[in-house]
Amino acid sequence: MSTTTLPPRTGHAPFSGSPERAAVRLAEAGPHGQYVVYERDGAWWYAGGVRAALVLDRSRVTLDHQGEVTSAPWHEDPLETVHRMLSLLPYPDWRAYGWAAFELSYALAGEPVELGTEPLLRLVIPETEVRLSAGGAEIRCSAAAEEAAVRALLAATEPDAGPVEFTPVPVDLGESPEGSYRASVARAVEAIRSGELQKVIVSRAIPVERDLDLPATYLAGRAVNSPARSFLLDLGGIEAVGFSPETVLEVSEDGRVSTQPLAGTRALVGDRAEDAARRAELLTDAKEIYEHAISVQVAWEEMAGVCREGSVRAEEFMAVKERGSVQHIASRVSGELPDMDRGPWPALAALFPAVTASGVPKAAAFQAIRRLEPGPRGLYSGAVLTVGSDGSLDAALVLRTVFRQQGRTWLRAGAGVVGDSSPDRELEETCEKLRSVSRSLVPAGAVEPTSAAG
């Protein structure tokens, strides 16, 4: 692969409105057909266009850098091949953005027969990268014309910077007439009580019949959610708006790694006294505490398998985090990688998929999920992630998300099933989670699109 490439143009720029509105302007009206908007720790990143693209499928990893294609088969460890292919990039400093489908877990578990034909991982090195925070915008562009277009959009003024006003698209969150979800939960409980596994997350999809304005839905949803991460993307034929309650994995450039399992749920109703009562109930509910404890135990064991001996610890245990329409029991497990020779990929291989979206033990949970759910999950319960040449990685768990692909739009939510689960209660829990997104679905045409004219 050629190593002659021009460095990106860099600079700083002011922007009008909030960071999230400026990021959405770039997504909605910018010069790029594909993009990722990613929120982390009070800042928003916009990654637009495709300078280089990496795709992992059931048999190969393919890197396309400006039309020059390199492809290699993967065998036991697909992410080792990903790491090797990314090392071919002719940039001293790059950051990739993209997504991993839930079915990547089957490749990592050595179950290639279950992989299907869809991509398992897609990453892009963007043509334009913008970091937006209270201090302004930091811009990296591969061409002067793109930089000019980005600066114009950042400076554009909006006619109304207030909340998005709309009537939400109605969505029926109820059970299907045949009661298939409750039946699946009952089958899962039976499998757990027979000793096949300890916990499994059983999910269901809800169709959205009307066309949506996804950028406006992102702004409306972000206004009423308090996510650990949020994202808006159109990449590789998949569009998604999500308000992730937790991270699958966080890796810093010095090898510090952490994960944040959330398990155990109660609804938030908006009444302070009632929400406090539900929080107290959550923290004393034996079923919810058990569900959380075994998730933390698995996360600890997975971290211990890849971290320096003695470095794994619980930085936070059984706190309660408010995430949109629900509250969860939350813990954080951290550690230190022994070296960074293989980048963050061994840690991702160890922790993906999140135990809180799969089950305990994971291998048995995978079998149960395939048996109980009618088809592949795709991006749901996978990850939206960003990874850098410095070894850093941040992966948001894809929950509380609206998806659009091939003319179909849908929501999806699941509940953690253990031996004491009730099918009626688990169905109710999926409804509580779905409301984090369903109350913010903006119909197409309800909001005037942004333009650079101001």
Catalytic residues: 246
Q: Are 129 and 94 in contact (CB under 8 A)?
A: no
Number of helices followed by number of strands (H, E) in the chain: 11, 23
Q: How far is CA 283 from its chain centroid?
A: 26
CA 346/CA 131 separation, integer angstroms: 27
Locate 44 and state its tokens. Answer: 């928003």
- Characterize 81-115 residue by residue with b for buried, 16 or more Cβ atoms within 10 angstroms of its Cβ, and e for exposed: bbbebbeebeeeebbbbbbbbbbbbbbbeeeeeeb
Q: 49's torsion region: left (phi>0), alpha (psi -120 to 50) or beta? A: left
Residue 168 to residues 215, 216, 443, 447, Cα–Cα distance (Å): 14, 11, 7, 12
Q: CA–CA separation, 242 vs 276, rounded Å?
A: 26
Residues near 198 by beta carbon (within 8 Å), at least 6 away in sequence: 192, 294, 359, 360, 361, 418, 419
Residue 370 burial by Cβ neighbours in a 10 Å radius (0-12, 13-18, 19+): middle
